[in-house]
Amino acid sequence: MRRNARLFAAGTAWLLLTASTIAQDAPATKTGATTRPAASQPKLHCPVCDRTVDRDVRGRFRGRRVYFCREECRKKFEADPYAYGEALQAQWRQDRPWRTQVRCPVTGKTAQRDIYLDRGEIDVYFADAAAREKYANDPQAYADALSRCYVFQTTCATCDNLIRPDVAKKVGRRTVYFCCPGCRAAFDTDPIGFLKSVEDEIRENQARRSRREEADRATP
């Protein structure tokens, strides 16, 4: 059943995309942020020209980072993001996250996708602008809190879209996340099956983290 939901979502999600402002924040110091070492980063391709990306050349679309090989490609994408939809989805599949930040490290409240700081290799999300300002003034003070703001679920319980921290449902002791209210409602059609898929993904992402840490330790 989840497979059918995934096929439906994959066919409709792109039609529902709304272009967001392409942010050009300069990379900040990584102090206090959890980053992914270069050794474990996948090799990504620019959605405009298919060359290997420069991770310092990036924009945003639908709350996610998009990487480019050069500024000219970033500008082309910004002018018409829909023209590069298939290539963009391919880049996102390559760079699938193994965890999602769902809470603000300052307030503990739900993180908002449009309130963030560019921390170099990651974005840090906040509940409001005041929390973002507090974090920016002293990132190290919130380093431990930030490490507890993540979950290992990254995709919607009923389809393959990435989760939204503000669309969730309590199932026993587990908080299950979704990409939209419609998928949250669809969960009740097969709660046992969908919950199993979530648990499977969580175990897979925990294993991915362990493999990445081992690879990073083995890298000189």
Please give the full DSSP string across the chain, using - where no structure is assigned. -HHHHHHHHHHHHGGG--------PPPPP-TTS----GGG----B-TTT-PBPEEEEEEEETTEEEEESSHHHHHHHHH-GGGGHHHHHHHHHHT--S-EE-B-TTT-SBPEEEEEEE-SSSEEEESSHHHHHHHHH-GGGGHHHHHTSEES--B-SSSSSBPEEEEEEEETTEEEEESSHHHHHHGGGSHHHHHHHHHHHHHHHHHHHHHHHHHHHH--
- Closest to 152 (Cα-Cα) out of 91, 208, 92, 213: 208
Q: In the Cβ-directed half-sphere of 84, how many Cα atoms lie within 13 Å?
A: 24
pLDDT tens digits, one per residue of 56-107: 999 988 878 999 999 999 999 999 999 999 999 889 888 888 999 999 999 9
Say whether pLDDT at 25 is over 70: no
User: In this predicted structure, what is the pLDDT of residue 41?
Assistant: 74
Question: pTM for the complete prediction?
Answer: 0.72
The arithmetic mean of pLDDT across residues 142-154, rounded, is: 97
Contacts for 42 with CB less than 8 Å, ≥ 6 apart: 94, 95
pLDDT tens digits, one per residue of 3-18: 444 434 434 343 333 3
CA distance 70 to 67: 9
